[in-house]
Chains A and B, each alone.
Chain A
Amino acid sequence: MTTVSLTINGDRRQVDVEDRTLLVDLLRETLGMTGTHVGCDTTQCGACTVILDGKAVKSCTILAVMAEGAELRTIEGLADGDTLHPMQQAFCDNHALQCGFCTPGMIMAAVNIIERHGTDIDESLVRRELEGNLCRCTGYHNIVKAVLDVAGKLPRASE
Chain B
Amino acid sequence: MTQKPGKLRAEFRTELPSGWAFDEIEARIGPIRDQLFKQIGQPVRRKEDRRLVTGRGRFTDDFSVPGECYAALVRSPYPHARIKGIDPSAALELPGVLAVYTGVDALADGLGPIPHSPVPSTKFDVRLTAPDGEAPFIGPHLLLPIDKARHVGEAVAVVIADTKARAEDAAERVDVDWEELPHVTDSLEAIRPGSPRLWDEVPDNTLVCSHFGDADATDAAFQSAAHRVRAKFHINRVTAVTIEPRAALADYDKASARSTLYAGSGGAVRQKRELASVLGIDPDDLRVLSYDVGGNFGARNRVYVEFGLILWASRKLERPVKFTATRSEAFLTDYQGRDLHTTVELALDENGQFLAMRADNVSNVGARCVSLSPLSKGSGLITGSYHIPVAHLVARAVFTNTMCTQAYRSSGRPEVTYAIERLVEIAAEQCGFDPIDLRRRNLVSADQMPYRNAVGAIYDSGAYEENMDKAMALFQWPDIAARRDDARARGKLLGVGLANYVESSIGSPVERAEIAVSPDGEVEVVIGTQPSGQGHETSFAQVVADMLQMPVEAVTITLGDTDIVSVGGGSHSGRSMRHAGTVMTMASADLLAEARRRAGAEFGTPAEDLAFEDGAFKCRATNRFLTLSDLSTATAPLAVARTNEMHAPVFPNGTAICEVEIDPDSCQIEITRYASVDDVGRCINPLIVHGQSHGGIAQGVGQAMWEDCAIDPSSGQQIAGSLLDYGMPRADNVPSFDCEIAEVLSPTNPLGIKAGGEGGTTPALATVTLAVLDALRPLGVRDISMPITPERIWQALASAREANMQELVP
Contact = CB atoms under 8 A, between A and B. Distances in A.
A32 to B, nearest CB: 8
Contacts of A156: 736
A36 B699 CA distance: 25
A2 interface: no
Contacts of A38: 61, 245
Contacts of B52: 97, 100, 103
Contact of B294 (A32, A99, A126, A142): A99
A76 interface: yes
A74 B48 CA distance: 20
Interface in B714-763: 722-724, 728-732, 734, 736-740, 760
A93 B45 contact: yes
Contact of B295 (A76, A136, A139, A155): A136
Interface string B283-320: 00000000011110100000000000000000000000
Nearest to B723: A44
Interface string A1-40: 0000000000000000000000000001000111111111
Interface stretch (A51-59, A63-71, A127-135): A127-135
Contacts of B534: 98
B24 interface: no
Contact of A140 (B244, B687, B731): B731
A145 B687 CA distance: 13
Nearest to A143: B731
B223 interface: no
Contacts of A134: 241, 243, 723, 728, 730
Contacts of B326: 41
B257 interface: no
B55 interface: yes
Interface stretch (B12-20, B138-146, B387-395, B688-696): B688-696
A105 B326 CA distance: 18
Interface in B12-48: 43, 45-46, 48
A123 B723 CA distance: 25
A35 B295 contact: no
A98 to B, nearest CB: 3
B731 A159 contact: no
B328 A137 contact: no
A62 interface: no
A140 B723 contact: no
A110 B243 CA distance: 18
Contacts of A99: 242-244, 292-295, 532-533
A97 B61 contact: no
Contact of B699 (A126, A136, A143): A136
B690 A40 contact: no
B53 interface: yes
A159 B43 contact: yes
B101 interface: no
Given A98-B695, A99-B533, A142-B694, A40 B45 contact: no
A95 interface: yes
A40 B722 contact: yes
Contacts of B292: 99-101
A45 interface: yes
Contact of B54 (A35, A44, A141): A35
A157 B737 CA distance: 6
Interface in B564-578: none
A84 B722 contact: no
B739 A39 contact: no
B295 A91 contact: no
Given A42-B724, A101-B243, A128 B736 contact: no
A34 B739 CA distance: 35
Given A136-B695, A137-B295, A100 B736 contact: no
A144 interface: yes
A140 B698 contact: yes
B57 interface: yes
A38 B59 CA distance: 11
A45 B49 CA distance: 21
A114 to B, nearest CB: 15
Interface in A74-88: 74-76, 78-79, 84, 88
A128 B732 contact: yes
Contacts of B327: 39-42, 45
Given A91-B53, A137-B533, A158-B738, A44 B724 contact: yes
Interface in B227-257: 240-245
B53 A103 contact: yes
B608 interface: no
A72 interface: no
Given A139-B694, A139-B697, A140-B731, A34 B53 contact: no
B62 A131 contact: no
B56 interface: yes
A138 interface: yes
B624 interface: no
B490 interface: no
A149 to B, nearest CB: 13
A137 to B, nearest CB: 5
B118 interface: no
A158 B690 CA distance: 9
Contacts of B696: 139
Contacts of A104: 53, 55
A81 B328 CA distance: 39
Given A78-B54, A79-B54, A141-B737, A95 B688 contact: yes
Nearest to A108: B55
B55 A34 contact: yes
Nearest to A75: B55
Nearest to B737: A141
B50 interface: yes
Contacts of B687: 95, 159
B751 to A, nearest CB: 22
A158 B692 CA distance: 14
Contacts of B695: 98, 136-139
Interface in B753-807: 760
B49 A91 contact: yes
B664 interface: no
A79 B50 CA distance: 11
Most buried by B among A98, A143, A158: A98
B551 interface: no
A97 B740 CA distance: 20
B91 to A, nearest CB: 21
Contacts of B57: 35, 100-101, 103
A75 B62 CA distance: 15
Contact of A144 (B61, B723, B736): B736
A92 interface: yes
A101 B240 CA distance: 14
B243 A45 contact: yes
B509 interface: no
A135 B723 CA distance: 12
B456 interface: no
Given A99-B533, A101-B295, A139 B729 contact: yes
23 contacts: A33-B55, A34-B62, A38-B61, A40-B723, A44-B724, A75-B53, A95-B691, A98-B692, A99-B243, A100-B49, A100-B57, A101-B243, A102-B294, A123-B736, A134-B243, A136-B241, A136-B728, A137-B533, A139-B699, A140-B734, A141-B694, A142-B691, A144-B736
Interface of B: 43, 45-46, 48-50, 52-57, 59, 61-62, 64, 240-245, 292-295, 297, 326-328, 532-535, 686-688, 690-692, 694-699, 722-724, 728-732, 734, 736-740, 760
The 10 closest A-B pairs by CB, nearest first: A35-B55, A101-B294, A100-B52, A98-B533, A99-B533, A139-B698, A44-B723, A139-B694, A157-B736, A75-B55
Given A42-B327, A138-B698, 9 more contacts: A42-B722, A42-B724, A84-B53, A92-B46, A98-B534, A99-B533, A136-B728, A158-B738, A159-B43
Interface of A: 28, 32-42, 44-45, 47, 74-76, 78-79, 84, 88, 91-93, 95, 97-104, 107, 123, 126-131, 133-145, 155-159
